[in-house]
Amino acid sequence: MANNDDKIICRCEDITEAEVLRAIEQGTATADEVKRLTRAGMGHCQGRTCRRLVNQILARKLGQNPEDQKPVTQRSPLQPISLKILADS
């Protein structure tokens, strides 16, 4: 089996578990901070796929209670829309 640290957490931005762990070592404690430091969650799906995984790692590493974790800031548009469609809207 591949080394666990090489596991891709954010498929859109190609961010591995090792990169998320490094961000936590540097002192980040929220998914928002991990997102800004590693870009995990800034990809095409806007974190739909990876947010839960990042939160799980944070919970595991820092003993956070999942219910207490701060939600990541949601930015519109919630689905990618082309410049052309927006310009004509």
For another protein, which is the closer residue by CB, 46 or 53? 46
- The total of other beta-carbon atoms located within 10 Å of residue 42's CB is 16
Q: Return the axis-axis angle of helices 17-25 and 31-38, rounded to nearest 10°.
A: 110
For another protein, which is the closer residue by CB, 2 or 27? 27
Tell me the closest approach of the beta carbon of residue 6 to another protein, in angstroms. 19
Residues 30 and 58: beta-carbon distance below 8 Å: yes
Q: Give the position of tokens 């990618």.
A: 80
Q: What is the binding site for another protein (CB under 8 A)? A: 26-28, 30, 32-33, 36-37, 42, 44, 46, 75-77, 80-84, 86-87, 89
Tell me the closest approach of the beta carbon of residue 56 to ligand FES, in angstroms. 14
Backbone angles phi, psi at 16, to 5 degrees: -90, 165
Amino acid at 87: A
For ligand FES, the binding residues (CB under 6 A) are: 10-13, 40-41, 43-45, 47, 49-50
